[in-house]
Structure 1
Amino acid sequence: MTVLLGPAGVGVPLTMGPTWPTGLLALVGVLYVRTTTKLAFTAACRRAATRACRSLMKGWPSPGSAVVAVSSSEVLVLVLAVAQPECVPYDVEKNAVRHAEMVRRAEARVVIFPELSLTGYHLDAPAITVEDSRLGPIVEACAEAGAVALVGAPVKDEGLEYIATLTVDGAGAKVAYRKVHVHASEERFAGGKRPQAIEVDGLRLGLAICRDMAIAQHAEDTAALGIDVYAAGVVHQAAEVATQEERARRIATDHGVWVAVASFAGPTGGGFEHTAGRSGFWRPGGDLVAQAGPEPGEIVRLTIG
């Protein structure tokens, strides 16, 4: 028997073979009953279909075998946190220790940090690699907490430098995403080639870095990856809080996904003496559900599923 992990509210038996699309329609029917808006319904169906295809491709069942959709309340639940660490300019070693402390405090499965959180928004900071031993404290904290940290850093990869998001867990660090829409002031860095998503416990997180959020096509292309959450690390001026919130609302509304924004708090480089902070979460449809204040050291946690 193959198990599909989808956002249906109850188990739905699907029969493979000539009549199996009828079972898929039954699954969609459950999605409709459990969804309050047409937009969220469309997004939920898209994500369910994506997961179904991935599951089936791993092992297509024989004709007549049963396929069961499992309740999201039983399986697909994820605790997320957005964090605003205090940052020491250029000091990856000290900042990694502070990231590790926040991972432990967050008590979350995924902890999202701001753009360039390991160095501060200093565009001349040396690039790091995923083998950098200074990442050790974050790796250790993630191993202890069973967490995945999404960390902002300048990286050198295949001869080019990028503003990137690293995924750090107990096994080490990887480059998960390279900022696609770099600003003119960030000319030192190459732009990433495409949107990216990661999967954690059956839910998919699309990744973004700051200016990416301003580009409607980026959100559209990322949503097309079948995501549940659009997760962004950003740096904004204190006077740009309204812009930060408008972008998050727009993406949550247009694409029917959760939006998580980790926003830099405290002074940093690049003329950002007074940053916005106010990291938060927006539900599908655009409502703000949880938000930090403007000060460094704050963490906001949310359970989705």
Structure 2
Amino acid sequence: MTTGSITALTLSAIQYEALDGGVAANVPEHIRLIEDAESHGARLVIFPELSLTGYRLDLLEGPEEWLSAADRRLDGIREICRRTGITAVVGAAFTQDDGTPRLASLAIHPSGAIEPSFKTWLHGPEQGIFVAGSHPAVLEIDGWKIALAICFDAARPGHAEWAAGAGADVYAVSAVYTAGEDHRLGLHLGARAMDNRMFSVLANLAGATPLGPSCGLSGFWGPDGLPFRQAAGTGTEVLTASLQHSVLARFRRP
């Protein structure tokens, strides 16, 4: 449970329709949307799975769309995070210093430091491209702990249980849920929140994807497992909520 003195955390879930053109085309849009989130008071911004390329695994056959921690193409996002004080979580194909290929959520902090989290439950063709992670990263912002999940991770109860055991207050999922997966999406996000008495947040890839059209529905679920804010459509949308420590405390009483 959160122990810091900050009783609320304002964060934005970005339902994002990735542009063609890979990292170079999508970085400027990420910067614009982080600025939008700042205008709503966000301290943390969550983007979808592979937001910097879209779910275009074919683009990853060469090295051009892979990122590293020192990649200068991230400088613009580093700068907007420094200027606003926001931590932004972006989705990318990521190469570790030792060459290990990861499907990652990269938390870019105001200091410029990058804190990566790797997808644990790879599926389909992902298994031939990436190496799976072992557990989610847990960010600490304003006294809150936020565990990062990527898509199919949220379908595995043990992933969120590990996060809860690490003290997570929020389970933040970057994903690609497509048309017809509305019910599945709701069950995953609601169950992970209710079973572990924490908030859950979804940033879903928007628009047309190689897996099919997005079903939208990015948003927020309370520790009762019920959604309290969701996207109205299936395009790009910034959704912001202020999560209250008092709500967690009520559900976590012995």
Q: Same fold (TM over 0.5)?
A: yes
CA distance 1:164–1:90, change in 2 (3 Å): farther
**Per the alignment, in what secondary structure is the counterpart of residue 185 of structure 1?**
helix
Q: Is the 8 A contact 2:18 2:205 kept in 1?
A: no
Unaligned 5+ segments in structure 1 are 1-46, 52-69
Of 111, 114, 128, the match for 2:48: 114
Of 142, 148, 152, the match for 1:207: 148
Q: How many residues align?
A: 234
Q: Is the 8 A contact 2:16 2:204 kept in 1?
A: no
- Whether 1:81 aligns to 2:21 is no
Amino acid at match of 2:221: W
Once the two structures are TM-superposed, the CA of residue 181 in structure 1 deviates from its matched residue by 0.5
Q: Deviations over 1:59-116 (max 9, x none)?
A: xxxxxxxxxxx7x5xx232111100233113520220110110101012100000000
Amino acid at match of 1:110: L
State how far apart, in whole Å, the 2-side matches of 1:244 and 1:90 are.
Answer: 28
Q: Is the 8 A contact 2:81 2:112 kept in 1?
A: no
Q: Compute the RMSD of aligned alpha carbons.
A: 1.5
State how far apart, in whole Å, the 2-side matches of 1:134 and 1:236 are.
Answer: 27
- Whether 1:265 aligns to 2:199 is no
Aligned counterpart, 1:12: none
**Per the alignment, in what secondary structure is the counterpart of residue 239 of structure 1?**
coil
Instruction: Give matches, 1:227-246, under 5 Å.
Output: 227-246=168-187
Of 168, 171, 178, the match for 2:108: 168
**Per the alignment, in what secondary structure is the counterpart of residue 151 of structure 1?**
strand
Of 128, 134, 137, the match for 1:196: 137
- Whether 1:148 aligns to 2:87 is yes
TM-score when normalising by structure 1? 0.73
Aligned counterpart, 2:247: none
State how far apart, in whole Å, the 1-side matches of 2:109 and 2:118 are.
Answer: 18
State how far apart, in whole Å, the 2-side matches of 1:227 and 1:234 are.
Answer: 19
Bigger relative CO (Cα 8 Å, ≥ 6 apart): 2
Unaligned 5+ segments in structure 2 are 245-254
Amino acid at match of 1:123: L
**Per the alignment, in what secondary structure is the counterpart of residue 172 of structure 1?**
coil
Larger radius of gyration: 1
Q: Is the 8 A contact 1:166 1:173 kept in 2?
A: no
Percent of pairs with identical residues: 36
Amino acid at match of 2:14: A
State how far apart, in whole Å, the 2-side matches of 1:90 and 1:217 are.
Answer: 36
Q: Is the 8 A contact 2:139 2:147 kept in 1?
A: yes
